[in-house]
């Protein structure tokens, strides 16, 4: 264990940064999966399936990727933070 806390002081930007990373990761994951499915079934694309897949990805992806996005943001914060 590295004992690095993921909860910082309220005045820091940890919530916004984690939210931003989560949004970017979720949208990228959704685009890759939906476009991959469309290209995989290209001659005859089942568009209702694409719609359902998109809605499910919009709901599930942020929930699944939030812990990873939070850790990624803390890592970015550590790299670019001033040395104290």
Q: Which domain holds residue 73?
A: 33-79
Residue 47: Cβ-neighbour burial (10 angstroms; 0-12, 13-18, 19+): exposed
pTM for this structure? 0.71
CA distances from 10 to 6, 23, 43 (A): 12, 21, 52
Is 24 within the bounds of a domain? no
pLDDT digits 0-9 by tens, 65-82: 888 888 888 888 888 876
Task: Tell me if 21 is assigned to some domain.
Answer: no
Is 1 part of any domain? Answer: no
- For residue 11, being part of any structural domain is answered with no
Q: Name the domain count of the chain.
A: 1
pLDDT of residue 51: 95
Low-confidence ranges of the chain (pLDDT < 50): none
Cβ atoms of residues 30 and 57 within 8 Å: yes
Is 65 within 8 Å of 22 (Cβ atoms)? yes
Q: What is the pLDDT of residue 72?
A: 86
């Amino acid at each position: 264990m590295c004992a690095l806390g993921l909860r910082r002081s309220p005045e820091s930007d940890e919530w916004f940064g984690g939210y931003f990373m989560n949004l970017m990761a979720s949208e990228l994951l959704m685009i890759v999966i939906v476009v991959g499915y469309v290209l995989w079934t290209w001659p005859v694309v089942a568009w209702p399936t694409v719609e359902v897949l998109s809605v499910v990805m919009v709901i599930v992806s942020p929930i699944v990727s939030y812990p990873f996005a939070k850790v990624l943001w803390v890592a970015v914060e550590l790299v670019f933070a001033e040395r104290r």
